[in-house]
Structure 1
Amino acid sequence: MNKFTLPVRFAFALTTSLIAYFLILSLFGLHTNPFFSLFNGVITGFAIFEAIRYRRLETGEDYNYTTGFSAGLITGFIASILFTIFMSIYATELEPTFLDELVTEYANHYDVGIATFSFIVLLMGLATTVVLTLAFMQLFKNKLKK
C-alpha cells in the first residue's frame, strides 16, 4: 500500500468529523463561541493518534519514528487545509454574517477579513497537528526498536 494512502484516508475522516461537529454547533447557534473549538483538538488528536497507530500496525518491523511522525503530520496538514477551505466557503457563501458574529464575541473594534480568518484557522490546525503528533510519538517512542 502507498505510504500516503493511510494518512489521506484519516485526513478525510478528520475533515468530515470537524465539519460535522461545526455544523452541529451551528444548528444550536453555538458555532460563534470560541470555547467550543477546543473540542476540535480532541477530534484532531484522536485522528492523528489512530493514523500513527495504524501506520505502526501496517508497517510492523519496519516502523520507525519518521514513519509514524510523517503519518501524523500528513493526516493533520491535509485535514487542516481542507477544513480551512470549508470554513472559508462557509464564512463567505453560506453565512456571510458569521465573521461579524464571531468577532463580536471578542470585541467590536476588530476588522477581520476572510483572509485573516482563513489564515488563523489554518495556523491553528497546523500548530495543533505538530504539537499532537510530537506528543503522540512519545507514546510510541519506547515501543520502537533500538
Structure 2
Amino acid sequence: MGKFSIPIKYGVAIAAGLIAYFLILSLFGGHVNPIYSLFNGVIMAYGMFEAIKHYRLHKGNKFKYQKGFMASLLTGFNATIIFTIFFGLYAAEFNPGFLDDLISVWITDYNTNIGIVLFVVAVMGFATSLVLTLAYMQLFKQSWNTKEAKKHTISGNSEK
C-alpha cells in the first residue's frame, strides 16, 4: 500500500459524499441555506475517523502519532481541495446565479465575489480537518498511563 493511498482514497470518498450531499440539497433548494452545511462536518468527521482507524489497523504496532496525524490531516485536506474545486465549478459554470442566492446581502454590502466564497469554503474545510485530526488522535494514540508503558520507561527501554 502506497504512502499516500489512505489519505487519497478516503479524501476522495469524503469529497464524493460532500458533493452528493450538496447536489441532493440543490434538488430541494436547500443548498442556498448555510445552516445545512453543518452536516458537512458530520460527513468529514465520519470519513476522517474511518481513515485514521484504517491507517492504525494497517500499521498495527508500528503506528506513530506523527504519521497518523499526517494521514488524517491529508485526508481532510484532500477532501477539502476536491470539494472546493467542485464548489467553484458549480458556482461559476453550472449555476451562475447560485452566489446571488447564497449571499444576496453580502454581495451588495461587501462586494463579495467567487474568490472570497471559495476562500471561505477552503478555510472552513481546512479548519474542520485540523480540529478533527487533533480530536481523533487523542482517541488513537497510545496511552503512556498503562502499567506496561511505565515498566518499559522505568527499565530504560523507551522507544524514541
TM score, norm. by length of structure 2: 0.86
* Counterpart Cα distance in 2 of 1:28 and 1:110: 28
* Counterpart Cα distance in 1 of 2:35 and 2:107: 15
In the other structure, the counterpart of 1:81 is 81
Q: Higher mean Cα deviation, 56-65 or 105-114?
A: 105-114
The reply on whether 1:23 has 2:11 as its aligned counterpart is: no
The reply on whether 1:38 has 2:33 as its aligned counterpart is: no
* Counterpart Cα distance in 2 of 1:125 and 1:137: 18
In the other structure, the counterpart of 1:70 is 70
Cα deviation for residue 6 of structure 1 reads: 1.0
Deviations 1:31-52 (A, max 9, x none): 0100000000000011111110
Aligned pairs for 1:107-146 (under 5 A) are 108-142=108-142
Checking the alignment, whether the CA contact within 8 Å between 1:103 and 1:110 is kept in structure 2 is no
* Counterpart Cα distance in 2 of 1:35 and 1:113: 20
Deviations 1:84-143 (A, max 9, x none): 000000000011111111112668523211111111110000000000010011111245
In the other structure, the counterpart of 1:57 is 57
SS state at 2:103 partner:
helix
Gaps of 5+ in 2: 150-160
* Counterpart Cα distance in 1 of 2:45 and 2:108: 33
Counting aligned pairs with the same residue, the percent is 51
Q: Higher mean Cα deviation, 120-129 or 99-108?
A: 99-108
In the other structure, the counterpart of 2:95 is 95
Aligned residue pairs: how many? 146
* Counterpart Cα distance in 2 of 1:136 and 1:70: 12
* Counterpart Cα distance in 2 of 1:39 and 1:101: 20
SS state at 2:30 partner:
coil
Gaps of 5+ in 1: none
Cα deviation for residue 71 of structure 1 reads: 1.1
Runs of 4+ in 1 over 3 A off after TM superposition: 105-108, 142-146
